[in-house]
Amino acid sequence: MSEPFTIIGGGVCGLAMAAELSERGAQVTVIDPNGAPGDHACSWWAGGMLAPDCEGVSAEPEIVRQGRKAAAWWQSQGGTVHHAGTIVVALGRDQSDLATFARRAPSATPLTKTQIAALEPHLAERYSKALFLSDEWHLDPRATLTALHARLDQRGLSFSADIGDIKGQVIDCRGLAARDTLTDLRGVKGEMLVVRCPDVTLSRPVRLLHPRFPLYIVPRGDDVFMLGATQIETGERGRATLRSVMELMNAAYALHPAFGEAELLEIGVDARPAFPDNQPRIRRIGDVIYANGLFRHGFLLAPAVAQMTADLLLDGKIPEVWYEDYRER
């Protein structure tokens, strides 16, 4: 058996790492002072969209390529992953943004009003044009993290809140908390809302293009929707602003007026860990491996980062991307 591994951090990156290593026969301990997934983790506030084509409009091609592995990986872990695609719409005055999006997302299919009605009847009441990206998925981040934690516990992994329980090779997956060592890591704040709106039915994520406050809405079942998300250059984690909340509410109302009567269930905020180019890193510093910087792509990229890290540590295979070795610098 290989040497034991200690993963510090129990968010999406840490749990994905634990799953990948343990499936390959490694002895794994996860250290998380909070004990279980919860609102202390940035990934608790995620949208849960596995949408590489949509993200590719603004993200680097490697993020798209690596992100295509995500849906199958989460399914292999027993997660409930919905394959319903993504619809993209724009208000009348922003139709040029829809055309620009289509040029940057070659897989996007234009929809007529009739086609919109077949997919999302409530959107057809307001939109005569849209784009559909069929090969995209979504999941419920909180249910997924909780289920994965339980699965790993049943598999016999050791979970500890004591940093003194480190054994063997350390993999640091602490997210923004790792700024004490990763000096080029920054925080990008995101605020989100959870609402209940029985008057709107959506079966898949919907993105509203807007020059000032673009919006995505993800259905969570039982008339509940997640609305997100702002993107503000600050590492502040605990304060949602009135301006941001109003922008999200206004965008939801613009998408469909019925959201004006929605019940506000939750306002959430945290800061995403990101490097200057908004791409992840698997970075070796001394004897520690740091897996970090997943930015807004936690659920999309955690599987690829975990697989590449496991390949490195178990098979000696150098990751094809995002790897940095600082041992000899």
Residue-by-residue pLDDT tens, the chain, 329 positions = 578 999 999 999 999 999 999 999 999 999 999 999 999 999 999 999 999 999 999 999 999 999 999 999 999 999 999 999 999 999 988 999 999 999 999 999 999 999 999 999 999 999 999 999 999 999 999 999 999 999 999 999 999 998 888 999 999 999 999 999 999 999 999 999 999 999 999 999 999 998 888 899 999 999 999 999 899 999 999 899 999 999 999 999 999 999 999 999 999 999 999 999 999 999 999 999 999 999 999 999 999 999 999 999 999 999 999 999 997 65
113, burial (CB in 10 Å: exposed 0-12, middle 13-18, buried 19+): middle
Residue 102 makes CB contacts below 8 A (sequence gap 6+) with 108, 110, 131
DSSP 143: H
Cis ω before 229 (30° cut-off from 0): yes
**Tokens in use for 149?**
């934690």
Where along the chain do its domains lie? 5-73+139-182+276-325, 86-134+186-274
Pairing, β 158-160 against β 206-209: unpaired
- The architecture (CATH level 2) of 5-73+139-182+276-325 comes to 3-Layer(bba) Sandwich (3.50)
> What's the CA gap between 53 and 64, in Å, rounded?
7
DSSP string of 190-248? EEEEEEE-TT---SS-EEEE-SS--EEEEEEETTEEEEE---BS----S---HHHHHHH
Structural element, H or E, at residue 315: helix 298-315
Q: Write down the pTM of the prediction.
A: 0.96
Which residues, 6 or more positions from 183, have their beta carbon under 8 angstroms from its beta carbon?
none
Closest among 90, 125, 84, 94 to 110, alpha carbons compared? 90
How many whole angstroms separate alpha carbon 161 and alpha carbon 191?
Answer: 28
Give the chain's end-to-end CA distance (angstroms, integer): 31
Three-state DSSP state, 328? coil
Q: What are the two backbone dihedrals, phi and then psi, of residue 269, each rounded to the nearest 5 degrees?
A: -155, 145
Residue 150 φ then ψ, to 5°? -65, -40
Residue 42 DSSP label: G
Pick the CATH number of 86-134+186-274 from 3.20.20.70, 3.30.9.10, 3.40.50.11540, 3.40.50.300: 3.30.9.10
DSSP letters for 272-311: EEE-TTS--EEEEETTEEEEE--TT-HHHHHHHHHHHHHH
